[in-house]
Amino acid sequence: MPKKVLEFSVRTSSSAPMEEVRELLEGAFGCKFTEGEYERIPAFTTHTLGMQIGLFYWGGDYLLESRIADQAFLNVSLGEGLESICISEAVANTLTILGAGEWRVPSDADVEKDSEYAEEMEQRFLNENEPPSWASDS
């Protein structure tokens, strides 16, 4: 029987500075978010219930997402496996009720916008790291 793990992805379109959003989340979660990285993106992060939680700015919104971070979950035998339980709606509702801003579960349009933004950022990165034309062998 698979072991259950929690996951969520929520967002807000707040125009508040990142520090202010972080402080509101710290009050709601009851833990500190520190500067770090989430999926190689600069972010404020915290750890709880075996998850790393990342707050970062992406394509015009603040995103708050989780992923498995505790090695104990990663050591589950292959025969058991892991089953994710999405708690995004509950997290969005709870954060909003606790005064951490208006959070929502991403819509299909949000996910599509995220994909387009990711492609744009990847293209920018590739273009910035291309060798100048004079450096090619041709």
Distance CA(11)–CA(13), nearest Å, equals: 7
Tens digits of per-residue pLDDT, 33-52? 999 999 888 999 999 988 99
Distance CA(124)–CA(117), nearest Å, equals: 10
Reported confidence tier of residue 72, pLDDT bands at 50, 70, 90: confident
DSSP 8-state assignment for residue 133 = G
| Per-residue pLDDT, 79 | 60
| Per-residue pLDDT, 37 | 92
Domain chopping of the chain, boundaries: 3-130
3.40.50, 3.40.1130, 3.30.310, 1.20.58: CATH of 3-130: 3.30.310
Q: Copy the structure tokens of residue 5.
A: 């793990």
Paired with 37 in beta bridges are: 42
Tens digits of per-residue pLDDT, 73-126? 767 655 677 888 999 999 999 999 999 999 999 998 888 877 777 777 676 666
